[in-house]
Structures are given as structure tokens and as C-alpha cells.
Structure 1
């Protein structure tokens, strides 16, 4: 079996390659990593079972060679060319696609197709990949997002943000990669839409408290109004659409806190990483 991992330079895709190599059950499984920059991806050299090819799913001319001889495709989200990549995969004889998506995919599906981000990939697999086996990995908010205030903490010793009670069940990308490898290497996952979120619900206020516990000092959380936070985003260079989208998402997290989920533990056999574990591993970000 040959597995093509697209986006192998990216945060998740790069870890998927490592997980596949670590879990590879026998020499018949070959991992092919697609990357725009092999040096930047820092993929291991001279490793049995690893093939490195230069290319990008956004550059369709590179895809036929990358897909040659591939049985299973790990598809990173790239809405601009998702349709064409799935078409090329089917033409190349790919039998199964495991696509990284988002817990927001169903909501996106209700909106304007021109604004689809993650659902574009799912839609492409379902419409252009008819007859192929598929699995969607619907990731939630990354734990990295809760470190957005690291610079504030380093420079002011506090966090100033709106919607402090906005609560989500964040996930570490290492857990996403572990699930991806499990699904890519084993059967029994066809037609599944796995929610990949954390096993604990964490608000912005909770996250600030946990960071303080790890650093050994109290970090105050200063609640901003929506407009104050919006102006902060705009001053940082975000456009109005992105700023409003972020604030709307946080407002939703106040009214509808995201409950935890245990799919990661069920599939990998180990608990999902907690936010405190994650902060402990990345405390250098704050120092």
C-alpha cells in the first residue's frame, strides 16, 4: 500500500508523516510525502518506506506524478483545487481518501459555496470521488489558537480580550496526526466523519488561569467589549471580515460552549492531550 500525504510541509501533514512511519505495520506500506519545500519540511533522510516528492495540491501540474501508484490519499484542505485533485486521484486509481476537515463543515455547507473553506474538500470528495472510500477528520479549534495572547503575557503580564467565557474543547495537532495515521493504516473507517476535539472544555478565562499555573504566577484576564476587541484586531492588521468572524465565533462559544469528545481516545487508545500538558510543553512561548 502506498499512502500519499499532501501538505507534508504543514503543521498537521508533517506530523502525519512521522506517525505513519512510526506505525507502519510492514515494509509493504510506503509513505509518500508531498511537499513544496523538502528542506523546510525537514523530512527524515534515507528512511525505509518514505518517498519524498516535490509538489503542491494547489499546483495541479505536480499531482499526476505524485499520485502515481497511490492507493490511499491523505488530503489536506485547499478549497481552490480540491475538486480537481479528487478528480486526478480517481483517475490515478486511488481507492480511499482521508480528508482533513473542520467541525464547522456542516455550517459552511449551508452558506455560499464561494465561501466554503473546509466543506469544499468534503464536497469535492463526495461529488467528484463517487465510488471511492472516504473518511473525514473534522478538527476543532487548535490548542495553538489559545496561545495567541502569548505576546501580551510576555510584555504586559495580562490578557485583554473579549468574550472571556467563550469555551471550546481545543485539540492538539499531534492528536489529529495520530488519528489520521490510525485511520490511514486500518480498515473500518469508511463513511465516518470523526469529530477531533479535546476531552475538556476550556474558556479564555480558563486558558489564562492554566497558563498562569504553568508559569507559576497569576495572570489577570481583562474583559474587553466587542468593539474594543475589534479595534485591537484591526490595529493588528486583520481585515474587518476576519475580525468580525473571530468575534462572532467567540460569541457563539459563550452561548453554546463546546462539549468535550472522546473520539481521539477511542481511536488511538490514549487520552487526548490536555491544555495544561500542551502549555507545559510550550512554556518557552511565554518566556
Structure 2
């Protein structure tokens, strides 16, 4: 069975490749626009291409049975049609429910008539890097909604689920809502990072407008959207699911463990 991983240079796609190999896959093709940056293991076939460059995809899809589809909105309808025309049998997509901007990916995949599995993921634990500059400079971390809570998920856990679904049967037509194993507040995340560093970090709540100004240099026009999304989780915290453990048989990574594993981001 030949498996194609799209977006294989990116964080999650690159991790999917590793988890497929660890799970015993012997015929993995990686779609990458810059394979020299990815350092693929020996035995991985590289297809030069990109989901936004449709002309590169017919050759990439040739002979493929199953596809991990990275979240690229602009060309998703054309991509799934090319996959179907090439004889792909199943697509495992990283997308989102109707409350997100990623729902069109799931709809396009379902509309293809191929077997499908949707992976819906919330906020990545890696998004905590948004505090990295503050943490490097001070023990007081400014945040607009320290009581906002969600169940952050490590990217590697998403990749583990994707690989398991691609390698095993029984997942066609399933939607997996992927979260970390616990719902925690932003203040608790900051304290967990502090514990990983051996420092006592405290949170200073700042007004919404100040938070937007703080984030605009990095996020531009999306800063306001991001801050208002955080605000919604004060009254409506995200509930944790057990989907990662259910699918893989191994527990999801806690935020505290992720912080210990990736502590160098904050030094």
C-alpha cells in the first residue's frame, strides 16, 4: 500500500512521515516543495510538488492508495478531483468543523466520493511560543484573558493519529475531534512553562486593545481575531476528548510534558 503525505516539509506532515515509518510502512511518498529542508529518512520516495501547484500533483498521486491531506484551502477542490482521477482510495484530512475556516476541506473530501477520515484539531500546544519573547525577557507575562481555557494538542499527537488511521482499517467515514488530554487555562499554561524552566512566572492581565497591539507585529490583521477567539473561551472552555488515546492506544501529551520537551523555545 502506497501512502502519500502532502505538506511533508511542514511540521505535522514531516512528523506523519516519521510515524508511518515507525508503524511499519514500507511504501511512503512525501510531497515536498523543498525536500532538502526536510531530511527525509532513507527509503522515503520524494515527489517534488506543492498542493497549490496543481501541475505537480498527477505524478505525485500516481499509484497511491491513501493520502494524508494537509490543510490548504485554495486548491482543495481541484486536489481531491486529481486524487480521485489517479485512483486514490482514501483521504485522511486535517481540517475543522463548521465553526472554523477549515470546514471546506472536509466538505470537499466528502464530496469526492472517496473514503475519508477527518481529523479536527484545536489549538496546538506549539502556539504557546507566542509568549516566548516575553518569557525570555521577564517573569511577568502579559495576557488579555488568563482564565480562558482549552485543551491544547501537541502537533506530534496529530501526526500519530494520522499515521495510525493511514496504516489501519476501520476509520473510513469517521471524524476524530483531537484535543490534548486536559482543559487548562492560559495562566496554567504559563505556569507550566515556568516549571519547565525552573522559574516562577506570573500573569498580568492586560486590556483587549493592548493585547491586540502587542500581537499585531507578528500576526497583523489576525491579531484581533485571535484575541477575540481567546475571549470566547472564558465562558465557553473547550472540553478535552479521548480521541487520541482511543485511536492510537497511547495517551495524548499533556501541556506540561510538551513544555518540558520543548523548553528550549523559551530560553
Which one of the candidate residues 191, 203, 207 is aligned to 2:173?
191
Whether 1:167 and 2:149 are equivalent positions in the alignment is: yes
SS at match of 1:91: helix
Q: Which runs of 4+ in 1 moved over 6 A?
A: none
Asked if structure 1 preserves the Cα contact closer than 8 Å seen for 2:139 and 2:199, the reply is no
Whether 1:81 and 2:75 are equivalent positions in the alignment is: yes
Task: Indicate the RMSD between aligned Cα atoms, in angstroms.
Answer: 1.2
Whether 1:124 and 2:118 are equivalent positions in the alignment is: no
Q: After TM superposition, give the deviation of residue 147 of structure 1 in Å.
A: 2.5
d(CA) in 2 for partners of 1:238, 1:249: 14
d(CA) in 1 for partners of 2:5, 2:48: 12
d(CA) in 2 for partners of 1:271, 1:205: 23
Tell me the residue number matched to 1:55: 49
Deviations 1:51-73 (A, max 9, x none): 11110011000000000001111
Tell me the residue number matched to 1:72: 66
Deviations 1:43-100 (A, max 9, x none): 113x2xx211110011000000000001111111111100000000010011111001
SS at match of 2:3: strand
Q: After TM superposition, give the deviation of residue 239 of structure 1 in Å.
A: 3.0
Unaligned runs of 5+ in 2: none
Tell me the residue number matched to 2:98: 106
Unaligned runs of 5+ in 1: 109-116
Q: After TM superposition, give the deviation of residue 205 of structure 1 in Å.
A: 0.4
Count of residues in correspondence between the two structures? 267
d(CA) in 2 for partners of 1:226, 1:282: 28
Whether 1:244 and 2:224 are equivalent positions in the alignment is: yes
Asked if structure 2 preserves the Cα contact closer than 8 Å seen for 1:146 and 1:204, the reply is no
SS at match of 2:92: strand
Asked if structure 1 preserves the Cα contact closer than 8 Å seen for 2:31 and 2:47, the reply is yes
Flag the 1:35–1:160 CA change in 2: closer, same or farther, 3 A: same
Deviations 1:182-227 (A, max 9, x none): 1001111111110110111121100111112222221110000111
Tell me the residue number matched to 1:10: 10
